[in-house]
Amino acid sequence: GAGVSQSPSNKVTEKGKDVELRCDPISGHTALYWYRQRLGQGLEFLIYFQGNSAPDKSGLPSDRFSAERTGESVSTLTIQRTQQEDSAVYLCASATGLAPYNEQFFGPGTRLTVL
């Protein structure tokens, strides 16, 4: 079946603009994660959604970052007033079954460049 998809694949924006990144998880996957991967760095956890429970937002770096998810479907990550340090690859992963035992499947990522 189809894997996790993300759009756009690349986004170039000017400092101060808002951007919205989209993630379509694998159908039926109740869990959804967002990560950030800066050049040469490890993956940073941003936010976790599990079904209809309140999301875990503990990884969001500032109040300029927010994410929404409608039920168990699409999620959007919004970055307001982008800064150059926001430049990174943003990865989404989905999983079925209960955390922490579930297996994560990743999308191809969105490469964000803030000029």
Partner 1 sequence: KQEVTQIPAALSVPEGENLVLNCSFTDSAIYNLQWFRQDPGKGLTSLLLIQSSQREQTSGRLNASLDKSSGRSTLYIAASQPGDSATYLCAVRSMSGGSYIPTFGRGTSLIVHP
CA-CA distance, 15 to 98, in Å (whole number)?
39
Q: Which is nearer to partner 1, 41 or 84 (CB)?
A: 41
Q: Which is nearer to partner 1, 13 or 104 (CB)?
A: 104
For residue 109, what is the DSSP state? -
CB of 67 to partner 1, least distance (A): 15
CB of 16 to partner 1, least distance (A): 27
**What single string gives the DSSP state of each residue in 33-85?**
EEEEE-TTS-EEEEEEEETTSPPB-TT--STTEEEEE-TTS-EEEEE-S--GG
Query: Which residues here bind partner 1, judged by CB under 8 A?
Result: 4, 6, 31, 33, 41-43, 45, 48, 50, 56, 58-59, 91, 93, 99-101, 103-109, 111
CB of 84 to partner 1, least distance (A): 20
Report the residue count for the chain. 115
CB of 44 to partner 1, least distance (A): 9
